[in-house]
Amino acid sequence: MKKREFVVGLDIGTTKICAMVGRQDANGEVEITGVGVTPSKGLRKGVVVNLESTIDSIERAIEEAEASAGLEVSQVFTGIAGGHIKSLNSRGVVVISRGSREIARKDMERVIDAAKAIAIPLDREVIHAIPQEFIVDDQGGVKNPLGMSATRLEAEVHIVTGAVTSAQNIIKSINRAGFEVEDIVLGPLASGEAVLTAEEKRSGVILIDMGGGTTDIVIFVKGSIRHSEVLALGGDHVTHDIAIGLRTPALRAEEVKKAYGCALPSLIRREESVDYPGVEGRRGGKISRTQLSEIIEPRIEELLILVNTEVERSGLSHLISAGVVLTGGASLLEGLPEMAERIFGLPVRMGRPGGGTKGLERIGDSPIYATGVGLVHYGLAYRQGKRMAHFKGRNLFSQVALRMKEWFGEFF
Ligand SMILES: Nc1ncnc2c1ncn2[C@@H]1O[C@H](COP(=O)(O)OP(=O)(O)OP(=O)(O)O)[C@@H](O)[C@H]1O
Ligand SMILES: [Mg+2]
């Protein structure tokens, strides 16, 4: 077995930690050959708050993935999320002054660097600098200017920054578990690799990854990422509301939500009553699905309205032809797609990673695996040189050998 053939995606989520081993088969299709999933206890809202328990879960998830894939893991591609993530679009300009005036790879790197030369506070670092389009002597919309003749090259670049300490704690946890980080990727960008089609990205699409602790948004237009955002709200907040509303332990509230929860009371076709225990020996009770749904509805509505406000703020609403794709575990809530359609006024579909990936039969084609599977897709593309990276960390990131990336999207 050739080891370089395999890549490992490690999704460190608020609810679960998931390691996926995968490779590309002879037909170029991505195949998952090993999986390990453990509950995550050391994160809050997408951010590591307890190192020891995170390290422990990482070890167990990777061990399990190693056993099922039948190989040893040394390096992983991992994701980053959390409310500290911020993104913006920036433009860079450079002059092509050499004799031939031919655009070289170096010029493309230079122009991305120029776009990156914005004021970034010392406690933040660039996680991605992804070119959306190049402008070659005023000619816009160029995806790959390599080799073109020009006197001036400009680039529109999507820049994602994150808190240095948050990234460091992710890297530290992985290192202490005994593994190296090959690259670190914005979580929802990885999810997008697994659940979005190239056609959707071209037509304009909003991806919403609803996890336990965070809801992540990315918007693609004309094949490029144009907006990204991480909100510190997720499915756990719904569970919390149920636990408070019913005065029942969180564990039972979670079970009740998954088995009987619905985002819209009007969609409940089969009324049922659900038993629940009280907290610490107190009397429990019974609730109807409709009453349960009345607890859930306002929280989900609030969350989706927040997402919609973000989308409107991005100024990209009018460019979304392919609608909304929902992924992440919280998107499994019954009635959520219907509510999302109502709030966004756009067609909504569920994003499951099994569409473009083989080997998920054993664990099931669930949206909770979108990020893990997407990290494998990203890793494979990166190894093939389709995702560029190089060491030039500006500050603290370089000490942990994090690579800063230039993302050349689909065009290499
Ligand atoms: N069938 C279901 N119905 C409703 N909610 C569900 C269902 N299955 C899972 N969830 C919810 O999905 C959430 C976990 O999703 P996911 O595994 O995508 O999160 P995560 O990646 O661990 O967290 P994050 O991305 O926020 O760090 C939990 O809040 C859980 O209650
Ligand atoms: Mg997640």
Question: How would DSSP label each residue in 356-372?
Answer: GEES-TTT---GGGHHH
Distance CA 345, CA 329 (A): 22
CATH number of the domain at 128, please. Answer: 3.30.1490.110
Q: Is 263 in the pocket of ligand 1 (CB under 6 A)?
A: no
- Write the DSSP assignment of 196-255 as a string of letters: --HHHHHH-EEEEEE-SS-EEEEEEETTEEEEEEEES--HHHHHHHHHHHHT--HHHHHH
CB atoms within 10 A of CB 211: 32
> Pick from 224, 247, 257: which is nearest to 329 by CA?
257
What confidence tens digit (pLDDT) does each residue in 228-263 have?
Answer: 999 999 999 999 999 999 999 999 999 999 999 999
* Pairing label, strands 324-327, 285-288: unpaired
Contact 333, 292 (CB under 8 A): no
- Whether pLDDT at 304 is above 90: yes
- Whether pLDDT at 77 is above 80: yes
Distance CA 71, CA 275 (A): 45
Question: From the CA of 367, how far away is ligand 1's center (Å)?
Answer: 9
Q: Which atom of ligand 1 is nearest to the CA of 81?
A: 27
The reported pLDDT for the residue numbered 120 is 86
- Whether pLDDT at 394 is above 50: no
Domain membership flag for residue 219: no
Nearest CA to ligand 1 atom 1: 258
Q: Is 374 in the pocket of ligand 1 (CB under 6 A)?
A: no
Phi/psi at 355 (5° precision): -60, -45
pLDDT category of residue 3 using cuts at 50, 70 and 90: low
- Whether pLDDT at 401 is above 80: no
Domain membership flag for residue 147: yes
Strand (E) or helix (H) holding 130: strand 124-136
Distance CA 68, CA 58 (A): 15
Amino acid identity at 8: V
Domain membership flag for residue 134: yes
Lowest mean pLDDT across 50-54, 170-174, 383-387, 406-410: 406-410
- Whether pLDDT at 202 is above 80: yes
Domains contained in the chain, number:
1
- Whether pLDDT at 115 is above 90: yes
The reported pLDDT for the residue numbered 39 is 98
The reported pLDDT for the residue numbered 369 is 98
Overall average pLDDT of the 84-101 stretch: 92
Largest CA distance in the chain: 83
- Whether pLDDT at 407 is above 70: no
The reported pLDDT for the residue numbered 4 is 81
The reported pLDDT for the residue numbered 324 is 98
pLDDT category of residue 404 using cuts at 50, 70 and 90: very low
Question: From the CA of 220, how far away is ligand 1's center (Å)?
Answer: 24
Domain membership flag for residue 252: no
Question: From the CA of 137, how far away is ligand 2's center (Å)?
Answer: 41
Q: What's the chain's average pLDDT?
A: 92
Q: Is 239 in the pocket of ligand 1 (CB under 6 A)?
A: yes
Which numbered ligand comes closest to the C-alpha of 13? 1
What confidence tens digit (pLDDT) does each residue in 310-320 have?
Answer: 999 999 999 99
Domain membership flag for residue 146: yes
Question: From the CA of 225, how far away is ligand 2's center (Å)?
Answer: 19
263: left (phi over 0), alpha (psi -120 to 50) or beta: alpha
Which numbered ligand comes closest to the C-alpha of 191? 2
Overall average pLDDT of the 270-287 stretch: 92
State the residue range of the domain holding 140. 86-161
Amino acid identity at 348: V
Which numbered ligand comes closest to the C-alpha of 236? 1
3-class secondary-structure state, position 99: coil
Nearest CA to ligand 1 atom 25: 211
The reported pLDDT for the residue numbered 244 is 97
